[in-house]
């Protein structure tokens, strides 16, 4: 690109932005218009540098977010129910309260993620949820446990949407999938490490119960990670201190093809209305709800189900660890499968199949068939792999910063809806078989598989419709600065094409 080439597109971008706020990346590029392009080798080194500076901390954040839920799962078989005098559905209700708070907190998050730097907001909330997790060790009864879970839900609510926005700032759409996959692997690792943590703390003999010490230790570790995230994860490529000015410009020019922008602070209500009326947003949201019903079941009750086989708490914790191996395997399969062969919808569909089989084994095998039911529990964990795909879809297919922030919060919040429904399918009256909960896993996975196909067909139809319109109007298909940085939504930008 010659030095003078960007001038006219930038002028076009200012004209387009008369109704839409210009992206901050545009302003930065305009100030550095004379910066030289870099070759592919240098660009690869920039990506490598970004990966090493950002992904490890995002991984730690997601690992700790899930370890919190795993700890609650294991605390049930570590004596927490008896220690706090929990009765009937108290345990399920406290699990539900977490996700109700999580869902409610997404409402202000949709606004704050536009106004507050996303990495700073993420780091602060991670540190605060660490404090809340440690404080949960002081629970004395059901009411104090309920209070602790509500605060945890409030502080964890920003993790999903913040990480989705941050991840969309540094890589192209095709590059994003394996990066989303990397930090999402924290879930599977948490399932494995969580089993070891629970097993270890069940052998701690102190005047404090093991589950209380577990909450304190993991809470303090979370605070440390939150502080590190606050100070070391940049809010945007323009603020990345580990990149030179030339590298920042090269990275922004590289991700320009996304046509989703990086960040601007102008809140645009019309983009909220567009998101509410956008069919893809609701298809993505419903799919996450369906996926997370099963996720809520296995997250909160897998150790409890294994304990019904007659195993003690320590053995139940260890037997639950292979669930993490299944999660990691399918998450890696999907992440790198998308990178090589795209077809996001197909990978969501494929992962629903072992979920359906697992739900069937749980639902219809007698409890005496321990091996079969245990395999069913493990297979259901394949359903966690489609979630980063849907998160990536949301970040890649929603342009316009207000719309993208709102959609990210909505999709992340829908995860909590499924997790509200999932634990509530476990009713005390259904013990020890909990058959309605197992059937819920089977039904929701089948529905999620069908919905993935519907979403695929919608994107194909919409892209073809746009192709026809563009051909009739003979519009320029090239990615201009007006399209990349002009603040246009995916609906306003007729050159935008959806990935599927």
Express each pLDDT in 435-482 by its tens digit: 777 788 788 888 989 999 999 999 999 999 988 888 877 655 565 565
Query: Does residue 87 surpass a pLDDT of 80?
Result: yes
Q: What is the model's pLDDT at position 476?
A: 56
- Class of CATH domain 53-260+269-472: mainly alpha
pLDDT-based confidence at 369, cuts 50/70/90?
A: confident
Asked if 305 and 377 count as a contact pair (C-beta separation under 8 A), the reply is: yes
Least confident of 72-81, 126-135, 309-318: 309-318
Nearest residue to 119 via CA among 226, 241, 47: 226
Q: Contacts from 244-250 at CB under 8 Å and sequence distance 24+?
A: 245/32, 245/35, 246/35, 246/36, 246/38, 247/38, 247/46, 247/49, 248/28, 248/32, 249/28, 249/29, 249/32, 249/35, 250/35, 250/37, 250/38, 250/42, 250/43, 250/46
Q: What is the model's pLDDT at position 20?
A: 53
Select the highest-mean-pLDDT range: 11-25, 39-53, 367-381, 408-422. 39-53
CA distance 295 to 445: 10
Query: Does residue 14 surpass a pLDDT of 70?
Result: no
Angle at 298 between CA 204 and CA 345, to 5 degrees: 135
Query: Does residue 430 surpass a pLDDT of 80?
Result: no
Select the highest-mean-pLDDT range: 127-136, 288-297, 417-426. 127-136
**Which one has a higher pLDDT value, 343 or 233?**
233
Cα 443 to Cα 86, 150, 429, distances in angstroms: 30, 29, 21
User: Structure tokens of 140?
Assistant: 């004395």
Q: What is the model's pLDDT at position 458?
A: 95
Q: What is the model's pLDDT at position 4?
A: 38
Q: How far is CA 408 from the centre of its chain?
A: 9
Query: Does residue 105 surpass a pLDDT of 50?
Result: yes
Query: Does residue 389 surpass a pLDDT of 70?
Result: yes
Least confident of 61-70, 173-182, 204-213, 313-322: 313-322
Peptide bond between residue 432 and the one before it cis (omega within 30 degrees of 0): yes
Query: Does residue 313 surpass a pLDDT of 70?
Result: no
Q: What is the model's pLDDT at position 473?
A: 74
**Which one has a higher pLDDT value, 2 or 437?**
437
Nearest residue to 85 via CA among 141, 139, 136, 148: 141
Select the highest-mean-pLDDT range: 6-20, 120-134, 315-329. 120-134
CA distance 47 to 182: 14
Q: What is the model's pLDDT at position 299?
A: 63
Q: What is the model's pLDDT at position 66?
A: 83
For residues 430-434, average pLDDT: 72
pLDDT-based confidence at 197, cuts 50/70/90?
A: confident
Instruction: List, for residues 246-271, the tens digit of each pLDDT value.
Output: 999 999 989 888 887 787 777 888 99
For residues 335-346, average pLDDT: 81
Q: What is the model's pLDDT at position 480?
A: 59
Q: What is the model's pLDDT at position 101?
A: 93
**Which one has a higher pLDDT value, 431 or 252?**
252
pLDDT-based confidence at 52, cuts 50/70/90?
A: very high
pLDDT-based confidence at 300, cuts 50/70/90?
A: low
Average pLDDT of the residues of the chain: 84
For residues 393-422, average pLDDT: 87
CA distance 315 to 203: 12
């Amino acid at each position: 690109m010659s030095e003078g080439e960007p001038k006219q597109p930038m002028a076009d971008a200012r004209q387009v932005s008369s109704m839409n706020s210009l992206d901050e990346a545009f302003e930065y590029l305009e100030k550095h218009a004379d910066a030289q392009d870099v070759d592919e080798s240098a660009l690869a080194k920039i990506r490598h540098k970004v990966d090493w500076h950002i992904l490890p901390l995002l991984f730690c954040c997601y690992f700790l977010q899930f370890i919190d839920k795993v700890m609650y799962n294991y605390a049930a078989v570590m004596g927490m129910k008896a220690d706090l005098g929990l009765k009937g559905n108290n345990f399920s209700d406290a699990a539900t309260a977490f996700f109700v708070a999580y869902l409610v907190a997404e409402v202000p998050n949709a606004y704050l993620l536009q106004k507050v730097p996303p990495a700073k907001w993420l780091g602060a909330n991670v540190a605060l949820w660490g404090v809340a997790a440690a404080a949960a060790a002081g629970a004395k009864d059901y009411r104090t446990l309920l209070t602790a879970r509500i605060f945890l839900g409030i502080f964890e609510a920003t993790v999903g949407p913040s990480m989705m926005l941050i991840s969309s700032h540094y890589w192209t759409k095709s590059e994003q999938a394996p990066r989303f996959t990397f930090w999402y692997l924290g879930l599977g690792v948490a399932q494995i490490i969580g089993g070891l943590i629970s097993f270890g703390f069940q052998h701690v003999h102190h005047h404090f119960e093991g589950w209380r010490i577990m909450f304190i230790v993991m809470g303090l570790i979370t605070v440390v990670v939150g502080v590190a995230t606050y100070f070391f994860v940049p809010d945007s490529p323009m603020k990345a201190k580990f990149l030179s000015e030339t590298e920042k410009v090269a990275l922004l020019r590289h991700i320009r093809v996304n046509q989703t922008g990086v960040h601007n602070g102008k809140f645009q209500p019309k983009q909220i209305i567009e998101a509410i009326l956008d069919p893809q947003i609701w298809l993505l949201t419903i799919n996450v709800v369906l996926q997370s019903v099963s996720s809520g079941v296995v997250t909160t009750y897998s150790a409890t189900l294994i304990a019904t086989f007659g195993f003690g708490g320590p053995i139940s914790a260890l037997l639950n660890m292979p669930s993490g191996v299944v999660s990691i395997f399918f998450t890696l399969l999907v992440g790198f499968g998308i990178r090589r062969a795209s077809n996001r919808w197909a990978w969501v569909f494929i992962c629903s199949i072992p979920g359906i089989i697992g739900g069937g084994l749980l639902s219809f095998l007698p409890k005496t068939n321990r091996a079969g039911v245990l395999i069913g529990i493990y297979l259901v964990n394949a359903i966690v792999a489609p979630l980063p795909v849907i998160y990536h879809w949301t970040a890649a297919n929603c342009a316009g910063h207000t719309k993208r922030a709102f959609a990210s919060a909505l999709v992340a919040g829908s995860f909590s809806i499924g997790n509200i429904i999932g634990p509530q399918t476990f009713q005390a009256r259904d013990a020890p078989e909990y058959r309605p909960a197992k059937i819920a896993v089977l039904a929701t996975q089948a529905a999620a598989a069908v919905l993935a196909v519907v979403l695929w067909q919608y994107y194909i139809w919409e892209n073809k419709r746009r192709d026809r319109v563009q051909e009739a109007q003979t519009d320029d298909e090239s990615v201009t600065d007006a399209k990349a940085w002009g603040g246009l939504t995916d609906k306003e930008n007729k050159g935008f094409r959806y990935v599927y």
